[in-house]
Amino acid sequence: MKWILPALALALPACATTSPPEPVVRTIEVRVPVAVPCVPDGLSEPPEYVDSREALLAAKDDPALAYALVQAGRDQRDARLAVLEPIIRGCR
């Protein structure tokens, strides 16, 4: 029984000196889509439309002229949208 205590005293430090295994380092590539702002070519500043606030205030006494200005402004906007839609669709 006296020999068990010294054997345990020698066995415990032997267990403590073992080092843990080295960690395994692995590089894993993960592809994640990232939103990128689209700046398409062909965009320009918006034009001065004929149905501006000042033009409509000047034509307030003539309803036919005011209607013509509003219709011409709408036609201008439709023409600009026809040009912008394919450009903007290219960013999607």
Summarised one tens digit per residue, pLDDT across range 3-57 is 777 766 666 665 556 677 889 999 999 999 988 787 777 677 888 999 999 999 9
pLDDT over threshold 80, residue 84: yes
Residue pair 52/70 in contact by the 8 Å Cβ criterion: no
Give CA separation, 43 vs 61, 68, 85, in Å.
36, 27, 11
Would 90 be classed as within a structural domain? yes
Domain count, the chain: 1
Would 32 be classed as within a structural domain? no
Structure confidence at residue 46 (pLDDT): 82
Q: What is the DSSP letter of 60?
A: T
State the residue range of the domain holding 80. Answer: 51-92
Give SS3 for 13: helix
Distance CA 64, CA 39 (A): 40
Structure confidence at residue 6 (pLDDT): 72
Mean pLDDT (whole number) for 60-85: 92
Would 91 be classed as within a structural domain? yes
Would 83 be classed as within a structural domain? yes
Residues 6+ apart with CB under 8 A from 83: 42
